[in-house]
Amino acid sequence: MNIQMILVLLALVLFSTLLLNTYNIMLNQSDMIYDNMLYLQGQKIADRYFQKIEAELLGNPPINYFSHIYSNYSAGVQETMMVNNVTYDISIRSAYCDSSGVNPSADTLYQRVDIKMKCLSTSLDTLTIGTAQFPISKVFINKGF
């Protein structure tokens, strides 16, 4: 009788350990999914700003001329946007560059706009979307508008 009782207890411990491990794996997977959703939303926000600049280049103020991109964004713009109860801290900076967007130069034909963002994940860690070394960037060309 004692051996059967010990075997039942060991079986309960084994199954409860398996159950806890399964729930732990599912929790980790859900954190990864939510973090990836926040990254994707950050990329959509960056694309929104790039489209805004392009639309303003076509004649919507405050950017009527190509040089206005540099004057509006070269010092760096800090903005905050709230999407689905998540606050994104956005940093936008512009600089003149060459056609590949790599080397800063005095050439005023090309401008690179860099966007970096930060937000809090579901686990309250800070997620960085676009880092200092690798921001989300787009190169604009002066087409004479």
Residue-wise pLDDT tens digits, 48-71: 999 988 888 777 666 667 777 777
Residue-level pLDDT at 90: 93
Predicted TM-score (pTM) of the model is: 0.77
- pLDDT confidence bin for 119, thresholds 50/70/90: very high
Place of tokens 């967007």: 101
Residue-level pLDDT at 98: 81
Token readout for 4 is 């059967």
- 73-84 average pLDDT score: 86
Domain extents in the chain: 2-141
- Residue 88 scores a pLDDT above 60: yes
- Residue 144 scores a pLDDT above 80: no
State the Cα–Cα distance between residues 145 and 140, nearest whole angstrom: 12
State the Cα–Cα distance between residues 52 and 72, nearest whole angstrom: 13
3-state class (DSSP) for residue 68: helix
State the Cα–Cα distance between residues 70 and 95, nearest whole angstrom: 7
Residue-level pLDDT at 64: 66
